[in-house]
Amino acid sequence: MAEHHPPPAGPPAGFVEALRSSVRGASDFGAAARALTTMDASNYRRVPLGVLAPRDADDVAAALALCQEHRVPVVARGGGTSIAGQATGTGLVLDLTRHLRAVLDLDPAARTAVVQPGVVLDDLRAAAAPHGLTFGPDPSTHSRCTLGGMIGNNSCGSHSVAWGTTADNVRALSLVRYGGERLRLEQGRDGGPDGVRALVDAHLAPLRTGYPALPRRISGYALDALLPEHPGGPDPVRAFCGSEGTLAVVTEATVRLVEAPRARALAVLGYADESAAADAAPGLLPLGPLTVEGMAADLVREPAGLPRGAAWLFVETGGATPAEARAHAERVVRSAGAVDGTVVTDPAGQRALWRIREDAAGTATRMPDGSEAWPGWEDCAVPPARLGPYLRDFRALLAEHGLRGAPYGHFGDGCVHVRVDFDLTSAGGVARFRRFSEETARLVVAHGGSLSGEHGDGQARAELLPRMYGDELVGLFHRYKDLWDPDGGLNPGILARPARLDENLRFAVLPKRPVDVAFGYPADGGDFTGAVRRCVGVAKCRTTATTGADVMCPSFRATGEEAHSTRGRARLLHEMLAGEVITDGWRSEEVRDALDLCLSCKGCRSDCPVGVDMAAYKAEFLDHHYRGRLRPATHYTMGRLSRWLRLAAPFARPLNALARSRPLAALAKRLAGIAPERAIPVLATQTYTRWLSRRSPRSRSRALASRRRAPDGRPPASGRAVVLWADTFTQYLSPQVGRAAVRVLEAAGSRVLPPPRGVCCGLTYVSTGQLDRARAVMRRTLDRLRPGPGRPLVVLEPSCAATLRTDLPELLSDDPRAAEVAAAVRTLAQYLEEYAPDWTPPRLDRPVAGQTHCHQHAVLGDAAERRLRERMGLTGELSGGCCGLAGNFGFEKGHWEVSVACAQERLLPAVRAAEPGTEILADGFSCRTQLDQLAGRRARHLAEVIAERLDAAAPGAGAGEGPGEGPDEGARPTP
């Protein structure tokens, strides 16, 4: 097995005190902070001493001076998305994203910007966009990677065929060396430590002949940029880019901006395989495309919108007008020699296709059969004309070693990404990983390529640099490093005098035997360790973009804290299982505190490229953490909500009256663990099932009559029997939704069956980690509920539907009835589309606003709802994100601020901006409650909107009982 280095014993004596007295930024040497930064997006893990978030360049200089004095290594960290191990270290981690994240200046005339190293790329692009400018390099992690990290790794991205690498777009750098000395590097001027010029002049011959000529040569130090004949003179800025944090820490950068095309089109070209796509890529470069990206079908979850083929090129074109961009793309299609091709000009369609390509960094981590794949030989580059032959040889080498991988990447620049199904958990697998890496290095060099074509060498490939450059040039790399950092304090073990590629693997510390858990984790072979290992660190959960339907990760968006991102929580669980940094296992307070702000929205289940399900991991952890211990009050109150509401239902009127008394309500909330800012929801005075059992014959007759009066004159439907689930929220808090759904289903020709008594999905037990109780409730439900083959189960509350669809079969994986019920679950819109396709819904012709429930987005999908709204003439988009209430989360004491911040991000602005007459939709009880309590706006379930229109159109409307028949105080909270 690969060598594993235990974590350091602790900081040197006096270091922490000296640091805290010398810098203004916060430092943290606790277990949680260290655990959060043990890994980046690579295979590697190194445990740091602590983390510092410097406030400014003075803090950086002071910290580096103290680190030199106390011989503490330093690693600068941005978004932590490096895939070769560069963002891990054993000393002090400088978190440059907390404070050093400003765009200091933007000069549209000069087309330059001055930025701090923690600026996220998309923030810079957003600042430049109003001027028609952008920053050219754009890795797939553009929504969370930082400019400092891009400079360190010389990042490139999909537009490098047009605008080059990061090194091509940096003009000047302000730096701090280990020890605190400050330097300024500018293009065209000699710069850097004493001795660099002499080193270059003494070794002109190897520097002139030792570097391969190709657009994506990222490996090693770019010392050839310091040659006197370099265009524009020696360029110390270019030489510094790609140094992977080993020379100095960037505190400020002046970067070049480029003109963004006013219009873009996307040509997507299908080929027989990725080698054929690679053969075609160089021939497209003379056409002046903005991108030439390639990927194989193995990486595509949903091929919607893609032309025929087993591999594709994504070729973006630009123009002054949409017509010009489209014409450019059509020329590409005609010249491509593809099996099939299409041109997409719609921005939304382009975004959907680009997402397929950008998510490949995550989807590539799983083979089509679900087995794991890892970086390691992640992003080599060869001359573009050699890419096709290289890929054929690479495929043959994979087969020779019994390995699999799916290439994708920047085919126009000859750069290939690939995740390979290495076994990195056994000694034999690690040995094969080493052999394969060594042989692939020889193959790349034989094709005239570079070991790294984008993300740097790091620990993954730096050991193999002599195979590419030879010993003499690699020796110069070491001497160059020593001139900058004679103490070797900056990112030791990376690039110069590197650690071996099979050291410090992050898998070595994990348990070798399965952990006893409650969930089945079917996608991970029933292994909780494998489920946690699923997070590879691409950090899509760290994005703060507020467009689109994505939900993940609302707590990170609200706090900006790594601990409250999906990745951060996965890292803490990894370290809990490892037992080195977090040593108290399931009892860990660090893990508990990080999971406390997880809303269990399940957004990561769909939005994370590798499908992490942090809601399930949270429930699993809470189940173990509180086993045999006293739980928080909310676990006994809201965690057992269905039980308490069932007992309270007969006393709804007096309980509602008591809740209107402020002193009594305050006492009740304090005892129940409810946030004092929250209002207690009103209990329905007539439950849904009680209404259904007492429903008048006249109501059923009217429903049949409306069925006979179908708008197009067709005869009524056959009366398919359907069970309408009585979830806790519909049953006790918003029965008007159930009544409306009955009206709609009967109008569509269905016969609604009453649900069995006492059934429950177990949602609140799951969300509070009471998994033994959840399973008992679920088994009782299975005993009482058998929808029957082909009989659908319509569930109105999205969170309950998601629980039945996912948590039920994953908690009761040994019971085949669970899978049967899960397969029967439908939303109202899904049922109508599948079982009543000929039914014509009423037209409303009005705009809508509101929110798609996070569980609906993550588990059920909302395509049927979108199509139903379109048929009804309901226009506009519902917002993405999470409302912030999220079941019990927003009611729990201590969560008010985060709950409100989540709602303020997208939901509340969308509703407040809605024009008068806009229908406010929210199918989830939590979303409706949040809108009522924070905005004073009443939202409705789609069923209510349809039923209201059906009743208004019926003869004698208003004379009988409609969806709201029977007494009910409503479901609005107390003021």
Query: What pLDDT digit, counting tens, does each position of 336-347 carry?
Result: 999 999 999 999
Average pLDDT over residues 839-845: 96
Dump pLDDT digits (tens) for 488-518.
Answer: 999 999 999 999 999 999 999 999 999 999 9
Q: List pLDDT tens digits, range 172-191.
A: 999 999 999 999 999 988 88
> Could you read off the pLDDT of 867-876 as tens digits, one per residue?
999 999 999 9
DSSP codes, 733-768: T-HHHHHHHHHHHHHTTEEEEPPPTT----HHHHHT
For residue 813, name the pLDDT band (cuts at 50, 70, 90): very high
Distance separating alpha carbons of residues 275 and 403, to the nearest angstrom: 18
What average pLDDT does the segment 553-572 reach?
96
Strand, coil or helix: 181: coil
Could you give the CA distance from residue 638 to residue 768 in angstroms, rounded to a whole number?
A: 9
What pLDDT is attached to residue 696?
A: 57
Q: What is the mean pLDDT of residues 778-803?
A: 90
Which pLDDT belongs to residue 378? 82
pLDDT score recorded for residue 973: 39
| Residue 81 backbone phi and psi in degrees, to 5 | -105, 10
Asked if pLDDT for residue 35 goes beyond 90, the answer is yes
Give the list of residues 6+ apart from residue 763 with CB closer than 8 angstroms, or none.
728, 799, 800, 803, 807, 887
What is the mean pLDDT of the segment spanning 10-14?
Answer: 93
66, 18 Cβ separation under 8 angstroms: yes
Distance CA 791, CA 958 (A): 34
Q: DSSP label at 469?
A: H
Residue keyed to tokens 């302000």:
174
Q: What is the mean pLDDT of the chain?
A: 92
pLDDT, average across residues 244-261: 98
pLDDT at 305: 78
pLDDT grade for 714, boundaries at 50, 70 and 90: very low
Contact between 306 and 338 under an 8 Å Cβ cutoff? The reply is no
For residue 789, what pLDDT is reported?
Answer: 65
Q: Per the omega criterion (within 30 degrees of 0), is the bond before 601 cis? A: no
Beta pairing class for 340-344 and 408-410? unpaired
* Tens-place pLDDT, residues 124-135: 999 999 999 999
Radius of gyration of the chain (CA): 30
Amino acid at 794: V
Dihedral of alpha carbons 316, 321, 323, 327, sign: negative
Res 960: pLDDT = 37
* Confidence band for 700, pLDDT divided at 50, 70 and 90: low
Predicted model pTM: 0.93
172 touches 247 (CB < 8 A)? no
For residues 952 and 483, give the distance between their C-alpha atoms in angstroms, rounded to a whole number. Answer: 82
| Least confident piece of the model among 279-293, 626-640, 759-773, 781-795 | 781-795
Residue-level pLDDT at 43: 95
What pLDDT was estimated at residue 701?
55
537 phi, psi to nearest 5 deg: 90, 15
Mean pLDDT (whole number) for 244-265: 97
Q: How confident is the model at residue 975 (pLDDT cuts 50, 70, 90)?
A: very low
* Percent with pLDDT over 70 in the chain: 94
In the sheet that 103-107 helps form, which strands lie side by side, from edge to edge? Answer: 103-107, 112-115, 249-256, 170-176, 182-186
408: CB partners within 8 A, 6+ apart: 274, 293, 294, 295, 296, 299, 357, 360, 364, 416, 417, 418
> Which pLDDT value is given to residue 787?
61
Q: Are 552 and 603 in contact (CB under 8 A)?
A: yes
Residue 963 has pLDDT above 70, yes or no: no
Helices (H), 55-110: 57-70
Of 358-367, 455-464, 783-792, the least confident:
358-367
Q: What's the distance, CA 355 to chain centroid?
A: 12
* pLDDT > 70? residue 310: yes
Question: Residue 220 has which token pair?
Answer: 């090693």
CA-closest candidate to residue 68, choices 484, 478, 490, 495:
490
- Rounded distance between C-alpha atoms, residue 950 and residue 747, angstroms: 8
| Token code pair at residue 121 | 């790329």
Q: Which residues of 946-961 are buried (b: 16+ CB within 10 A; e: fewer)?
A: bbbbbbeebeeeeeee
* Separation of alpha carbons 732 and 323, rounded Å: 56
- Residues 42, 85: contact at Cβ < 8 Å? yes
Bigger pLDDT: 359 vs 894: 894
pLDDT confidence band for 348 (50 / 70 / 90): confident
pLDDT of residue 909 exceeding 90: yes
Q: How many residues does the chain have?
A: 975
Is residue 850 helix, strand or coil? strand
pLDDT at residue 674 is higher than 50: yes
Task: Give the residues across from 848 on adjacent strands.
Answer: 919
pLDDT of 438 > 70? The answer is yes
883 vs 599: CA distance, rounded Å:
10
User: What's the pLDDT at 189?
Assistant: 87
Tokens of 801: 């539907």
**In sequence order, what are the residues at sequence separation of 6 or more whose Cβ sits closer than 8 angstroms to the Cβ of residue 733?**
645, 681, 682, 683, 684, 925, 971
Encoded tokens for 598: 């997880």
Q: How far is 868 from 865, CA to CA, in rounded Å?
A: 5
Tokens of 671: 């005892």
Instruction: Give the closest residue to 456 by CA, choosing from 848, 16, 145.
Output: 145
Q: Is the confidence at residue 95, as pLDDT, over 70? A: yes
How much is the average pLDDT of 595-609? 95
- At residue 448 the predicted structure's pLDDT band, cuts being 50, 70 and 90, is very high
How far apart CA 802 and CA 859 sit, in angstroms, is: 6
Q: How does residue 548 score in pLDDT terms, banded at 50, 70 and 90?
A: confident
Q: Is 184 helix (H, G, I), strand (E, B) or coil?
A: strand
Q: What is the pLDDT of residues 363-391, one digit of tens each?
A: 777 777 778 889 888 889 999 999 999 99
pLDDT range class, residue 954, cuts 50, 70, 90: confident
Please name which of 684, 774, 776, 660 lies closest in space to residue 733, comparing C-alpha atoms.
684
Q: Which residues pair with 341 in a beta bridge?
A: 269
Query: β-strand 415-417 against 408-410: which pairing, if any?
Result: antiparallel
Residue 353 has pLDDT above 50, yes or no: yes
The 3-state DSSP class for residue 470 equals helix
For residue 299, what pLDDT is reported? 82
The residue among 747 and 713 whose pLDDT is bigger is: 747
pLDDT band at 232 (very low <50, low <70, confident <90, very high): confident
Range 656-660 average pLDDT: 96
CB atoms within 10 A of CB 47: 22
Question: pLDDT-based confidence at 219, cuts 50/70/90?
Answer: very high
CA-CA distance, 908 to 915, in Å (whole number)?
A: 14
